[in-house]
């Protein structure tokens, strides 16, 4: 699908910006989804020519025990490099990624991974598949043909990640900030619908990923995001901010929002609550 070049500055694109493009450029669209039925949902309705990325197999490398790395560990860089090559993505490609969760799930994970590969031109579509449908973009059930493969050089992740031991050392240090982006009821330990134990990492603060969204489920403005995170981070160094969720996926939604707001450099705890809660680590309940 050919689109005109738009002078992208940030990381999030709206359907209106897609419509406003004026000079042509090849854009690779990626439909990223998670769950056992991800491919079936993709086949049922996706943007015309959009290529498929599966959170469970393409964007994760799952082990037998979530206590070692959580439910969605990152794949080895070489495996992701090979996957990008199969999608026809080269370092110079312009990539727009969306999901069927308004950008809150697999799309944000794909964005983070491509940024961590050192890729420059990758953007998440605010509102995801719902926004495409509402804006009358061509939606189809037709599976696109395989693109010409490329060679994407990648040997290491270039964005900061932290492990469980680091979290243990800094979670209650006031110079650091651990952001738990899960819904509030999960954070306070009211119930836990996915992992084995309810609660949160001691010292972590709850800024739910939904705080990044407006009433329509699309990303808030740059100004609103900047004001929210400037107030939360206060005078801490951005490299002392760590973001986690249940399994390192939705955390990328907040890392995307932070980057959009001008706060690049926060770390991702990939194992997240799914790893922490399986390792006999201290667990806090309530709002403290």
Token couple for 151: 């060679």
Q: Is 185 helix (H, G, I), strand (E, B) or coil?
A: helix
Q: Cβ contacts of residue 39 below 8 Å, gap of 6+?
A: 33, 52, 54
CA–CA separation, 276 and 204 (whole Å): 12
Q: Cβ contacts of residue 64 below 8 Å, gap of 6+?
A: none
Tokens 């490398």 belong to: 61
Q: Catalytic pick from 245, 252, 261, 268?
A: 245
| Angle at the Cα of 196 from the Cα atoms of 34 and 203, rounded to 5 degrees | 95
The candidate with the shortest Cα–Cα distance to 167, out of 281, 284, 257, 251, is 281
CA distances from 173 to 149, 168, 240 (A): 47, 10, 10
| Angle at the Cα of 211 from the Cα atoms of 205 and 216, rounded to 5 degrees | 165
CA–CA separation, 171 and 177 (whole Å): 7
Token couple for 270: 């990939």
CA–CA separation, 132 and 22 (whole Å): 19
CA–CA separation, 203 and 269 (whole Å): 15
Which residues are 94's β-sheet partners? 27
Q: How many helices (H) and strands (E) does the chain have?
A: 10, 13
Is 245 catalytic? The answer is yes
- Which residues are identified as catalytic? 245
């Amino acid at each position: 699908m050919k689109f005109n070049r738009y002078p992208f500055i940030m990381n999030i694109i709206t359907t209106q910006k897609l419509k406003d493009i004026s000079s042509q450029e090849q854009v690779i669209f990626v439909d990223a989804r998670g769950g056992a039925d991800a491919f079936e949902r993709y086949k049922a309705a996706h943007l015309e020519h959009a290529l498929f990325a599966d959170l469970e197999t393409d964007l994760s490398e799952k082990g037998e025990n979530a206590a070692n790395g959580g439910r969605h560990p990152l794949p080895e860089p070489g495996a992701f490099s090979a996957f990008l090559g199969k999608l026809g993505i080269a370092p110079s490609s312009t990539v727009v990624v969306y999901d069927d969760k308004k950008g809150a799930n697999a799309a944000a994970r794909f964005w983070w991974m491509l940024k961590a590969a050192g890729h420059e031109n990758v953007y998440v579509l605010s509102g995801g598949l719902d926004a495409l449908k509402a804006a009358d973009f061509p939606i189809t059930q037709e599976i696109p043909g395989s693109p010409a493969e490329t060679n994407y050089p990648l040997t290491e992740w270039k964005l900061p990640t932290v492990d469980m031991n680091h979290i243990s050392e800094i979670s209650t240090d006031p110079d650091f900030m651990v952001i738990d982006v899960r819904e509030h009821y999960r954070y306070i330990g009211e119930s836990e619908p996915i992992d084995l134990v309810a609660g949160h990492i001691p010292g972590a603060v709850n800024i739910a990923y939904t705080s990044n969204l407006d009433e329509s489920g699309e990303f808030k403005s740059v100004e609103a995001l900047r004001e929210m995170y400037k107030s939360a981070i206060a005078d801490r160094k951005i490299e002392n901010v760590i973001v986690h969720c249940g399994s390192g996926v939705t955390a990328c939604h907040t890392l995307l929002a932070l980057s959009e707001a001008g706060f690049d450099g926060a770390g991702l705890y990939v194992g997240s609550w799914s790893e922490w809660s399986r390792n006999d680590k201290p667990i806090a309940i309530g709002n403290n």
